[in-house]
Amino acid sequence: MALRHAVLAALLDGEYSGYQLAKAFDIGVANFWHALPQQLYLELTKLERTGLVSGRQVVQETRPNKRLFTVTDEGIAELERFAAAAAKPSFIRDDLLVKVQAVDVIGAEPVIAQLEERAKAAEAKIEVFDKLLHRLRGDLDEETYLRRGARIGPYLTCLRGREFERGNRDWCLRTAGILRDRTGT
């Protein structure tokens, strides 16, 4: 997947400025695709140049003018081509796993501390996902929303993000506990 597809998918929720898109990425899209704000601005420029998004200038009196972007019909067609293509398998690339791999030789205490810190960060992300999921479904319970909700895609990706973070938290806490038991710390 290219960044372009993640941007196009994020813009399906409406018209966004670059700043709003960066915020949307931080909240929802970041659980499956990371991008810096500079990368998003550059990608919006490319997408507009190729006709996959359209932008319009909004004049603001007390602030600098801004551009708002929406997905074009060509952009939706690009997403349809992307959706029809075979998905590539995902993989883990994580420096903390390298440290755990080497823990028998390098010493466990700093690794345990990093595992516990990662577990805390995962717990904080789980709370963010829980709030976002509640905001997306409003007063509906989850099963009702899953059957009848208006935009199910963002909800499903947030569910995946929450489960990913739960898995991270649980693995980190278990691994830290095992290492503590083995080292007697």
pLDDT tens digit at each of 185 positions of the chain: 588 998 998 898 889 998 888 887 776 676 677 788 899 999 999 999 999 999 999 888 898 888 999 999 999 999 999 999 998 888 888 999 999 999 999 989 999 999 999 999 999 999 989 998 999 899 999 999 999 998 898 899 899 999 999 999 999 999 999 999 999 87
Answer for the pair 158, 128: CB distance below 8 angstroms, yes or no: no
Residue 91, pLDDT score: 82
Distance CA 69, CA 185 (A): 54
Answer for the pair 46, 39: CB distance below 8 angstroms, yes or no: no
* Residue 30, token pair as written in the block: 């970041």
Residue 27, pLDDT score: 67
Strand residues in 32-142 grouped as ranges (E): 53-58, 66-71
Q: What are phi and psi of 93, to 5 degrees?
A: -135, 105
Residue 31, pLDDT score: 66
DSSP letters along 131-169, please?
HHHHHHHTTS-HHHHHHH-S-HHHHHHHHHHHHHHHHHH
Claim: this prediction has a pTM higher than 0.85? no
Which is it for the CA torsion 161, 162, 165, 171, positive or negative?
A: negative
Residue 60, pLDDT score: 85
Q: Which residues, 6+ apart, have CB-to-CB distance to 4 below 8 Å?
A: 43, 46, 47, 52, 78
